[in-house]
């Protein structure tokens, strides 16, 4: 295996929890008898098929950690210490299933995650010092996770991607379907609603030893040496897109060289371009979904391999 081929395989395994092959579930998006929730060229499809979700995923984890209830569940029930990339792979699978799968696949995938959530229970100390019970299935926690992901996708794409068809409002309205699949009532359907619902959580957010422990794993995951510099750039890019109040709570700063800010945007776009080169212009999940859509809609056109 040549150096380039080995690097591409190593890069792919980062997103598949160490599996050097493309997971079979990505090819299964060709199955099903409906068009799915998001058409090709929709706001969600456009954002999620770009490389900006790579930054958004880091940003979402940083933001989610600030809710003591969400952090308690991760701290007590997640294997992020032993297998931090495993959690990433599971999250990618759910997002891909909702984005590219048939409606049936998206519903079944979300129902599976919801069943897992019912097992995640415990207590946590809220921002006021009061001990409270929690469940990952609590409506407030489901809302917080949905808001954090939505905000991360929007912010990362605004900073490092292209235009969104219909703008941010269209993306938020479309991705509301993902929140509903997870049992969320009244998800935001516009940027204004997203900002309002996020602000409603301000008094509940807090830094803690648990947050800082998680932050060490998010900042320096166990990546191969060839990917560490690129990840440092992506992490900096994620931090740069956080709201100042969230960045301050996490104890993070936008990286700089003395008084001169680093060219974060250019550096992030360069790294994302390299990742795109390594993974290819279109992933198997997207290709499989397009084949299903052509078959179901009867659209003429060659089958994509």
- pLDDT reading at 207 higher than 80: yes
Structural domain that includes position 230: 3-297
Token reading at 253: 């700063």
Predicted confidence band at 78 (pLDDT cuts at 50, 70, 90)? low
Q: What is the pLDDT of residue 196?
A: 98
Q: What is the pLDDT of residue 163?
A: 96
Alpha-carbon gap, residue 113 to 122, rounded angstroms: 18
Q: Is residue 305 part of a domain?
A: no
Q: Is residue 38 part of a domain?
A: yes
Percentage of the chain surpassing pLDDT 90? 59
Token reading at 297: 């809609």
CB 36 within 8 A of CB 106: yes
CB 152 within 8 A of CB 63: yes
What is the average pLDDT score of the chain? 87
Percentage of the chain surpassing pLDDT 70? 84
Mean per-residue pLDDT for 100-113?
96
pLDDT tens-place string over residues 217-245: 889 888 888 888 899 999 999 999 999 99
Residue with tokens 């900002």, as numbered in its chain: 195
Alpha-carbon gap, residue 18 to 9, rounded angstroms: 10
Tell how many helices (H) and how many strands (E) occur in the chain: 15, 4
Q: Is residue 102 part of a domain?
A: yes
Q: Is residue 42 part of a domain?
A: yes
Residue with tokens 């790294």, as numbered in its chain: 271
Q: What is the pLDDT of residue 256?
A: 63
Residue with tokens 């456009």, as numbered in its chain: 46
Q: Is residue 304 part of a domain?
A: no
Q: Is residue 303 part of a domain?
A: no
Q: Is residue 302 part of a domain?
A: no
Q: Is residue 142 part of a domain?
A: yes
Predicted confidence band at 132 (pLDDT cuts at 50, 70, 90)? confident
Predicted confidence band at 76 (pLDDT cuts at 50, 70, 90)? low
Mean per-residue pLDDT for 2-30?
70
- pLDDT reading at 269 higher than 80: yes
Q: What is the pLDDT of residue 121?
A: 83
Q: What is the pLDDT of residue 304?
A: 57
CA-closest candidate to residue 173, choices 40, 51, 44: 44
Q: What is the pLDDT of residue 70?
A: 86
Count CB neighbours of 107 within 10 A. 15
Count CB neighbours of 99 within 10 A. 24
Q: How many domains does the chain have?
A: 1
Token reading at 279: 């993974």
């Amino acid at each position: 295996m040549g150096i380039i081929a080995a690097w591409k395989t190593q890069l792919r395994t980062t997103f598949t929890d160490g599996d050097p092959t493309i997971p079979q579930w990505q090819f299964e998006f060709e199955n099903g008898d409906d068009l799915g929730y998001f058409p090709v060229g929709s706001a969600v499809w456009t954002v999620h098929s770009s490389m900006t979700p790579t930054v958004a995923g880091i940003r979402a984890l940083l933001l989610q950690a600030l809710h003591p209830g969400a952090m308690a569940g991760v701290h007590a029930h997640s294997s992020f210490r032993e297998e931090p990339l495993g959690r990433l792979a599971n999250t990618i699978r759910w997002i891909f299933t909702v984005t590219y799968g048939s409606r049936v696949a998206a519903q079944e995938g979300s129902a599976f995650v919801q069943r897992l959530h019912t097992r995640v229970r415990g207590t946590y100390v809220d921002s006021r010092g009061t001990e409270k019970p929690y469940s990952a299935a609590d409506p407030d926690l489901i809302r917080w996770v949905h808001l954090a992901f939505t905000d991360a996708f929007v912010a990362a794409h605004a900073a490092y991607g292209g235009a969104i068809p219909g703008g941010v409002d269209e993306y938020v309205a479309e991705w509301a379907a993902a929140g509903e699949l997870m049992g969320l009532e009244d998800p935001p359907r516009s940027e204004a609603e997203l900002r309002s619902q996020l602000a409603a959580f301000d008094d509940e957010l807090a830094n803690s030893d648990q947050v800082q422990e998680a932050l060490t794993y998010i900042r320096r995951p166990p990546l191969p040496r060839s990917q560490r510099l690129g990840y440092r750039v992506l992490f900096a890019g994620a931090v740069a897109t956080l709201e100042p109040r969230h960045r301050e709570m996490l104890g993070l700063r936008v990286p700089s060289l003395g008084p001169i800010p680093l060219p974060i945007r250019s550096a992030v776009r360069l790294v994302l371009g390299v990742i795109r080169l390594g993974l290819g212009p279109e992933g198997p999940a997207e290709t499989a979904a397009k084949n299903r859509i052509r078959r179901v809609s009867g659209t003429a056109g060659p089958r994509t391999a």
